[in-house]
Amino acid sequence: MKQFIVALLISCTSLCSLAMNHRGMLMDEYGMIMNANSDQLPRDCQKISENVDITIHAGQQYAEKFTGKMFAFDNQEWNVKPCAKINITFINDDQIRHQIMIHGLPGYLYPEGMFHLELNGAGQLQASLILPSQKKTYLVHCELPQHMEKGMKAQLKVDGGDGNLPSIPGISEPIKKDLYKTDWSKFAYALIAISALFAIIFVLVIVINSPRISALTAKIKEKLLHKTKL
């Protein structure tokens, strides 16, 4: 019986370990790293061309320079050589969950073609990946609901890339522009018309009475000068 319990505990420990490191996914209460790769070369690479250290910040403060956006990375584009090894330090400056996901990577090396870093709140993670030699532009984004649409989107170019992706804040035009419509009610139109009418009447009164206003201004100046002399 004792041996059975020990075996059961070992099996549970092994299953928990597999769950925490499933198909390249490392996860704890603070965040997750998926499909990190620091040593396996893509099939079209003979060696690592360069080691690139990239620090990526995520947070609301980086969206302030983009109209209508709520979240963003501190940079929206990076360019590296073919077969480069990228060491990414991901820093979440918000108290909410953010991710970095890179799509379109070779599936034989990165399951589902994806590299993923995630933090459940403020903190820091570090992981590496090695890019193929293909001249390509990769999508970098946060896949949490509405985070990408609200500005958390960037691009990673290999050898200059094969063009810009759409809707990269500050770089490319969006597929569908944000529209900030005003609800013009009848009351709003009436208020504008009344304001315009009062403005016209005010200008007409000033123009018609300009001689009197000039004379009155002259009298006031004269009295002030007289008091100054006394």
Beta-carbon contacts of residue 83 (< 8 Å; ≥ 6 apart): 41, 42, 44, 45, 46, 47, 48, 49, 130, 131, 132, 133
Query: What pLDDT score was predicted for residue 214?
Result: 80
What is the domain-level CATH number for residue 184? 2.60.40.420
Region 24-43: what's the mean pLDDT? Answer: 91
Round to whole Å and give the CA distance between 196 and 90: 54
Q: Confidence class of residue 169 from pLDDT cuts 50, 70 and 90?
A: very high
Asked whether residue 230 is assigned to any structural domain, the reply reads no
Asked whether residue 107 is assigned to any structural domain, the reply reads yes
Asked whether residue 15 is assigned to any structural domain, the reply reads no
Query: What pLDDT score was predicted for residue 224?
Result: 72
Indicate the angle between helix axes 210-229 and 186-208, nearest 10 degrees.
Answer: 60
217 or 76: which carries more pLDDT confidence? 76
* Model pTM score: 0.69
- pLDDT of 150 > 80? The answer is yes
Query: What pLDDT score was predicted for residue 180?
Result: 61
Range of the domain at 178: 24-208
In sequence order, the β-bridge partners of residue 136 are 158
Per-residue pLDDT tens over the stretch 170-214: 999 887 776 666 667 778 788 888 999 889 988 888 888 888 878
- pLDDT of 1 > 70? The answer is no
Asked whether residue 69 is assigned to any structural domain, the reply reads yes
Q: Confidence class of residue 17 from pLDDT cuts 50, 70 and 90?
A: very low
Q: Confidence class of residue 7 from pLDDT cuts 50, 70 and 90?
A: very low
Round to whole Å and give the CA distance between 194 and 79: 57
How many domains would you assign to the chain? 1
Q: Confidence class of residue 10 from pLDDT cuts 50, 70 and 90?
A: very low
- In the predicted model, what is the mean pLDDT of the chain? 86
Query: Residue 137: in which H helix or E strand, if any?
Result: strand 136-141
Asked whether residue 96 is assigned to any structural domain, the reply reads yes
Per-residue pLDDT tens over the stretch 50-88: 999 999 999 999 999 998 899 999 999 999 999 999 999
Asked whether residue 5 is assigned to any structural domain, the reply reads no
What's the per-residue H, E or C state across 115-130?
A: EEEEECCCEEEEEEEE
Q: Confidence class of residue 5 from pLDDT cuts 50, 70 and 90?
A: very low
Asked whether residue 215 is assigned to any structural domain, the reply reads no
